[in-house]
Structure 1
Amino acid sequence: MDKVLRLPRDPSKSSKNGEAIMAVMPLKINRLQRFPTLFWVVNTLELFERGAYYGVMGYFSYHLKYNLHFTEDVIGILSAILLALLYFVPIIAAGFAKKIGYRKTLLMAFAVLIPAYALMAYAHSPFSFFFLILIWGIGAGAFKPMVSATIAHVTGEERRNLAYYIYYLTINLGAFIVPLAIGIFIPEAMARFTFILAAVLITVNLLITLLFYTDPVEIDPSTRVGEVFVNMARVLSDRKFAVLIAIYSGFFMMFSTMHTFLPLYMKDFRLMPSWFTTPLLATINPLTILVAGPILSKFSSKKDSLKLMITGMSIFTLGLFILGFFPLGPALIVGIIIFSVGEFITHPNFISYVSKIAPSEKVALYMGYAFLPSAIGLVFGSTVGGFLYRFLAVEMHMPRAFWAVFISIGLLTIFNFVLYNTRFGAVRPSAGVPAILPNKSATLPFLLLIPVVLISSFSLGSVTYFGVEGEGAWEEEGEYVLTRVESDEMEGNRLLEGQSATYTLNLYTPNVKSLNITIKWVDEPDMRRFGREYQNQPDYFAAYLTPPNGTRIPFEEVTNPNPIGGEGELRVTYVYDGGERPPYYNATGDYIVEVQMVFAGDYRPRVGVIGFQDDGNDFTISYDYAYYQRVD
């Protein structure tokens, strides 16, 4: 019989921060054929939904900072709002699904997610992202419990472990495959298209649900959705469990840095080559779990849960120390691999530990709220982390100090776990597991390391910051020279009144620094008809530029409308200020110019009121751009 880490019987009532990636065991093909069709349908939904989510998260922080120029504290707050919804909406959605049906809940979730993802591709302000993240979080949170609950209903108990292994494998495959594809095929300057891709993947899920998904259980209209809050209050009234939640939240405060600040750290301090994008960085964690999971699962299957939790948190903290205190590319990769191993060991054993300390008659109830440390730690860590990253890493150029704060949280969490077990005892007597506690004095070094880590992080000094408005010291090194290229004027463009047209400027040169575009037109000459002279009135144009980052910029009205008989002009200047050292490609790509013929001045007589209509006008577009050219 395969040795596996035992899962809760209904993992829909447990959680992991990004997803539970617990038991891993060898697959046997003949066993896969025994699962019903609905099992494979919901796993397909999970694959696409998680692919959409992690694909977007791969570029999320980078896009907000480098393309839209949001500050780090704003990025942290937006991430916290999303995470809060992802962990609190499911408890309502689970009861809601019992009341109206799983299928309707899924369809509603997808119907909300599709426009949320699609509109974020065109959002440019923190307020618009705040509104769309609310919709995103509600949709993703409503979807979150549906798949695991469906699997619980359609699989027998004898195959439950294998079923959930496939489920967790699907999650990590989605978290690996889609960001990998995005990192290869979607450049940083076009990061907004990841939102479009996510909308497409969710649309596929909507169609799959409409065609193939059926409710696994009967609808119960008498279900009281508000009962979940009553149960939460009942669980938190247990002081022992409430303290455990508070302590374990520290682990997820550390984990909150993974998707929000780790990508910024890599880019801001230029730890990896320019081709290594943040979605590629996001693939290291799921790949580590996919590769190392089977080995780690066998290693941990017979060990004490508490010892494994402390071991896992220690490994996770070590990973943060390596990537944070050694700002180098190899250290970044090694650190992520190490903390991924620590993550894998820690959380499954927390779920196991909760099942052992809960009163025997309330195990299911306690397991249902084991997600609370994830919610508290991720939300609080993202919010506080945004302000800390901006102050310590960006303004003071001391990323080690930023990581030292979270490393210290990890060390304090480990120490508090030992105190917790000294005060409350390890497990209930009926759990059948001996209370093997770590030696209290043996964990004292964890507490003593905190001031050492904090002091050393400041004493090691600053690190060169290359982020938005960074030092840009490379401009003085003489390796690159700013070169300007003039374009030929594009003649013969004509628009009728009320019409608009779009033109694409393909700037595929690397290291683009600035672009100037000018639109000109000349007032038509006066005309004579029936012996009378008619004067042409001014024309009015409007134009907008959309660079690769998706920001829509209006043209400056130099002379608009044109003077009678004179020339009209619109002009726009786009300057890329990312601060990267060449070669970079963030300003390379398609620049979309939208021209609108708003009003064409008619021909009016010099004396009288009846004239002739002017239907439009011709205009020209010219541009020049500057880029950093390497000096050989």
Structure 2
Amino acid sequence: MSQQIPQGTFLGHPKGLFLLFTTEMWERFSYYGMRALLVLTMVAATDAANPGFGMTTAEALKLYAYYTSLVYLTPIFGGWLADTFIGQRRAVILGGALMSVAQFVLFAATPHSLSLFYVGLGILIIGNGFFKPNISTMVGDLYEQGDARRDSAFSIFYMGINLGAFIAPLICSTLGEDPAWGWRYGYLAAGIGMALSVVIQLFFAQRFLGDVGVVAGAKRSLDAAGGKKQPLTKVELDRLRVILTLFIFVVMFWLAFEQAGGLMNIFAQDKTDRMIGNSEVPAGWFQSLNAMFILIFAPVFSILWVKLNKIDKNPDAPIKIVVGLFMTAIGFGFLVAGIFQMQTTGDAKASMIWLVLAYMFHTLGELCISPVGLSLMTKLAPMRLASLVMGIWFLMPALAQLLGGLIGAFSEQAGEYESVRHFAANLGIRAEDAGILAIFGSIAIFLCLFAIILWFISGKLVLWMHGAEKFSADTTEAALNEELNVVGDHEALRKQH
């Protein structure tokens, strides 16, 4: 069943692309604005000038772990429901409406009712499951198979993702961290952004999207689902071995990377000198750095890969992941350097430069792993198991979010061990900083160890790929589109069809 797409283009693309761009931009604004506030709201004292819920750091980081892991888990079910029953369009509107309501619930709950706050988080998780996997599916549906504009469309869509992620903390954290307004007004801003996303879909979707996303994908593809089932071949089994092996290393990366919204957020608030002149930089503003660095470096990496490919020096995917793990480890090394600097300052706080450098190297690591890994999954997955394999890929950050949050929460307990305090003291580190040193330092060490192990087994993994990884782009422009496409796919949890 073909889908009717309205005529007319803007900048060479269907006008519906820019509708979806705007919808996703406001949804990302809502998500990242709320994420920048969550842990800080939880740990703020109930009697502070800007009161929160008075949790310990460990309690707040555990909550963050449970929330973010479920955020990455529910899109698997939301995507299946949309494909099978309700269609992408209804799923996006339903999910957006639920998330908007949830943000307003958080506004109403803060700082008076922790129980109501939990209700808001639960509604956010459900709404996210419907929204995330379906909106970018509609981007792809705007183009026929083989349309050369499709990759470029995801490049444009990807810019919307990171534009929303960049501006969100600047607005939501500015309001939320200011006692004159309070945490709740940060959530209110996030809710208004999400409401705008829904309103845009309700009023303009039919005009610019036609019937794209209206009919469930299972119904549209029914005619193409025939044929006999065949057992997996040896090549397919070998490629599945690669996927399952890389699962371990990619989980380790996301476990480290997702400290950004948890322990690194606490580090920014409590351990970082954020003063510029007489003004204090809100802690949540640092959450914008990842999106900013992606916008800067993603085109650079894309051009780098194609240049290396032209001289037959383009590294295999496992080697790129090795580099990504080392890059992320260097980022944590800068945080450790910041802890050492804290011991020499009168206010026991580190310079902001350490956080900036950490976020930059974490982003460089992400660009070596996230787009490369996602692209590799689509090449290795047997056609009949494509959806399952993509589900496995998105389970990686779900598991990593949970483990990473629990590890971050352990920082307080780790500092209570006499052996940890003794080790820190020998390095000239105060007892109150021993726990965070242990966590950041251990993550850096384990990232390096995992990178070394992957480097040793990379040759075998390449053999098991059986030539699946062939860089098809032969121009810098094509490579740029391909690279931004897969990064954007990861950010939006795009379902593969």
Establish whether TM, by shorter chain, passes 0.5.
yes
Deviation for aligned residue 1:171: 0.8
Deviation for aligned residue 1:152: 0.9
Residue 149 of structure 2 corresponds to residue 159 of structure 1: yes
Deviation for aligned residue 1:218: 5.2
Deviation for aligned residue 1:32: 5.2
Higher strand fraction (1 or 2): 1
Does the CA-based 8 Å contact 1:250-1:377 persist in structure 2?
yes
Deviation for aligned residue 1:62: 1.3
Q: Deviations over 1:181-240 (max 9, x none)?
A: 3344554331221111111112222221211124414524976xxxxxxxxxx9999554
2:14 corresponds to: 36
Partner residue of 2:248 out of 246, 257, 263: 246
RMSD: 3.0
Residue 146 of structure 2 corresponds to residue 146 of structure 1: no
1:71 corresponds to: 56
Residue 367 of structure 2 corresponds to residue 344 of structure 1: yes
1:112 corresponds to: 98
| 5+ residue gaps, structure 1 | 1-29, 224-233, 435-632
User: For 1:188-587, what aligned pairs fall within 5 Å after superposition?
Assistant: 188-189=178-179, 190-214=182-206, 215-217=211-213, 219-220=215-216, 238-273=240-275, 275-301=280-306, 302=309, 303-304=314-315, 305-327=317-339, 328-329=350-351, 330-359=353-382, 362=385, 365-389=388-412, 391-392=414-415, 396-398=432-434, 399-421=436-458, 424-431=461-468, 433=470
Q: Deviations over 1:84-104 (max 9, x none)?
A: 222221111112113112222
For residues 135 and 185 of structure 1, what CA distance do their matches in structure 2 show? 23
- C-alpha change, 1:265 and 1:61, in structure 2 (3 Å) is same
Does the CA-based 8 Å contact 1:81-1:134 persist in structure 2?
no
For residues 104 and 322 of structure 2, what CA distance do their matches in structure 1 show? 42
Q: What secondary structure sits across from 2:439 in the alignment?
A: helix
**Amino acid paired to 1:132:** G
**Amino acid paired to 2:163:** L
| TM-score with structure 2 setting the length | 0.72
Higher helix fraction (1 or 2): 2
User: For 1:121-140, what aligned pairs fall within 5 Å after superposition?
Assistant: 121-123=107-109, 124=111, 126-140=114-128
Deviation for aligned residue 1:383: 2.2
**Amino acid paired to 2:168:** V
Deviation for aligned residue 1:289: 1.4
Does the CA-based 8 Å contact 2:335-2:358 persist in structure 1?
yes
Task: Compare 298-307 and 169-178 and name the one that shifted more.
Answer: 298-307
**Amino acid paired to 1:379:** L
- C-alpha change, 1:364 and 1:127, in structure 2 (3 Å) is closer
Does the CA-based 8 Å contact 1:49-1:201 persist in structure 2?
yes
Q: What secondary structure sits across from 2:212 in the alignment?
A: coil
For residues 136 and 218 of structure 1, what CA distance do their matches in structure 2 show? 23
| 5+ residue gaps, structure 2 | 1-7, 45-51, 220-231, 340-349, 417-429, 472-497
**Amino acid paired to 2:362:** F
Does the CA-based 8 Å contact 1:102-1:146 persist in structure 2?
yes
For residues 90 and 349 of structure 1, what CA distance do their matches in structure 2 show? 21
Partner residue of 1:96 out of 81, 99, 107: 81
- C-alpha change, 1:293 and 1:44, in structure 2 (3 Å) is same
For residues 10 and 257 of structure 2, what CA distance do their matches in structure 1 show? 33
Deviation for aligned residue 1:55: 1.1
